[in-house]
Amino acid sequence: MQIGEMLMLGSREWIKVVQKNLSTGNPNDPNSQEFYKKLLIQGKKISQLISYIWLGGDGAKQLDVYFKEIDKNKKIKDLFCACKDETKKEQTPEYELLKKVFPKDSDLPIFSINDAAFFEFKIATNKFEGSFSDPAPQENKVLYIAVPYPPRPAISEFSPEERENNPFSVIDKQELEEWLESPSDESPYFPPSNPYIPASSS
């Protein structure tokens, strides 16, 4: 697949197809499998990060700023690439914030510095699904990643019984909590039950 053909990369449909191929052993190339699984894991972590912000967890307001600063690409890249520096006693603010969302060191960084060198991040405030697109010819980067960060919908706190009787509620608090607790490196890689929880392949 050529980069220019990745029209739906980041959508739920794309994630479902890749997720299915990985579970059935296709594509056969192990390098491709590794690459695509990495994208799915990175995308799930971004979705879980947004869910954490929407739930208003400790540090959520500070995390929200990274998606809303004027120079969003640099701020988001600093956040997504934050990792533990074993040579320093004090870690970066970005790392300390992400640790509140992903307590295990093995879950960080979301993107390695090497990965991020090939990406430019754009914040999509009007979408619930992420996407990839080609950079302009004069750009040195390989891909633009549109990270979905829509306004937070109303979040209800229904019991399971109440949820069944309120099919038109947008997002339930328990749904977000369950999604946040789902292992980042395991399927499903997008919230299958609710299209309003942002999904991103990366």
Residue 93 belongs to some domain of the structure: yes
Is 162 part of any domain?
no
Residue 132 lies in a domain: yes
What is the per-residue DSSP string for 41-85? Answer: HHHHHHHHHHHHHHHT-TTHHHHHHHHHSSSHHHHHHHHHT----
With the C-alpha atoms ordered 183, 187, 189, 191, is the resulting torsion angle positive or negative?
A: negative
Its pTM stands at: 0.79
pLDDT tens digits, one per residue of 4-30: 333 334 556 656 666 666 665 544 444
Q: Which residues of the chain have pLDDT under 50?
A: 1-9, 26-30, 202
Distance CA 103, CA 32 (A): 29
Q: Using omega within 30 degrees of 0 as the cis cutoff, is the peptide bond preceding 109 cis?
A: yes
196 falls within a domain: no
What pLDDT score does 34 carry?
77
Whether residue 146 is contained in a domain is answered as: yes
Q: What is the pLDDT of residue 99?
A: 95
Chain center to CA of 144? 14
Could you give the dihedral angle defined by the CA atoms of residues 189, 98, 155 and 201, in that order, rounded to the nearest 10 degrees? -30
Residue range(s) defining the domain that contains residue 44: 3-150
Q: What is the pLDDT of residue 190?
A: 80
Flag whether 57 is in a domain: yes
SS3 172: strand
Number of structural domains in the chain:
1
Residue 40 lies in a domain: yes
Q: In this structure, is residue 156 part of a structural domain?
A: no
Check residue 34 and give left, alpha or beta (phi > 0: left; psi -120 to 50: alpha).
alpha
* Bridge pairing between strands 143-148 and 119-124: parallel
